[in-house]
A and B are shown apart, each in its own frame.
Chain A
């Protein structure tokens, strides 16, 4: 047998296999059948960011409620959670398993900028619907299969600064930030508002997410004479910064990211200082103790279906990211397809569940620009000091 014949013998079956696979995939409606719709989410159920794992479990609450009511157009939602330990390499492994083996139709949520970035291209190539990645980083724009809900960190920095300057009258503002894209994006917002008010940022001081001694950074903040400090960092560093400031006799008004608006948890890890010092945070949901019919319905369902879960802000955020998928699936009707759900999501207009008011179009999948500002009250209760307010400054 000469080389030509050997090649033909190997090549022909290979080509048949490839073309038959493509053909089969094109005909298959991936992610659902007559009885179920498969939905997935990754999130840290263990490891250093396990506190944020409640988001994935919060989505499960909504899907359980939907299934309890008979599903959507006769189909139950089958929901998968993959624990990635906040580690992007594990996120990829979990997502590939869900897409390739479990055949999921859509993803909701997904904690972490780096984790989301690790799988963004893969999900996009596979045209998987993805709603509400849990980060406000700008790296997720221009993906036609991703609808964003987590407010842009630029808007967050701007609204916190606007509240400090225009509502509270502070002129001396300093900035303490996590030394990555999160801190950098929000700093643009802080500076934009200060510039608009003819003010200068006194100082911008970085912290690393692994640092445990922040005394030099806080001493420097203190030396600036700042009346208010905008903080964009993880809970651990925020708690250590506050403890250090108190031990140095430095008591500015702290205004932090919406990622730290779980006042119960933050007060607990700061020996109650979060409440005592009246720390403020941005927020993009109503308070968890809000007395609205929908919030009461979810709270009662959580007590019944997930009695071991704490009704906290991260758990609620899981419900928030799952709501638009349920709306779209209901709207599409029994003739389900990926394109139909995409079109339904693209036509969401001024709609609100227990999260922010959402409007998406075919060309705009950006998150809402409205946020609230909350203050932790003396008994860890939520005080809304600034109702929904939109950042009208242009995004960079």
Chain B
């Protein structure tokens, strides 16, 4: 199994899942030129983010490296902002923030959705299922931004967590889609023979759910996680603009909100740096996600 395949199959699910879906998916994905290119771009961003994380570059994002609104120059590739910080460093540093937000939200929201969705699906029709469905309905009905703001307030009194109020709010809302998808899939899967067999062998119910059924929804979860990743990055921008987002760090959303007054005065550096980088990542991830979806769709795999 090569590196790309590992990326697609991070936890080695293919051993448990039907072999053909993953190998065929991989085969198909590698023939998808757009998919491969976008994957390469995503990897490039991953590299940038890792470099920031390891302290290779963009370490001076908080320093006052120059004067006010210096133009593009060799020392400041994208110029400086109002207080003299280097815009290039800040834009690069924000890549890390984006990945942090995207990964945390995508992984945790998908995991939460998988667990609750699987439980609801397995016990469909029972009170547990009703309860989870009700919870999904309730959370779906509260306007997103209001909900995030409310969570931000509630967590404000706990300074250690208040930094993550945006992450928490997104996880609490974004798990629902994954939950519904998994629930539907599990309802189908639990009628399969091997589940009946496991029942007959006296395998405990939760072992059946999490060891035997849930791994078979891995392709859905993987695609859903990439979609959630994009949604989280995009929401971060808007939430940070509204002052509900990233707190003690730097992000593209903060840069864009900083620029919203500046652009009307003819200063575009902040705006362009942040929005071009943001667009690149979201676009690549969107295309990657599409390619993944095509590759892992059982119906098209069967073609």
**Mutual binders A and B:** no
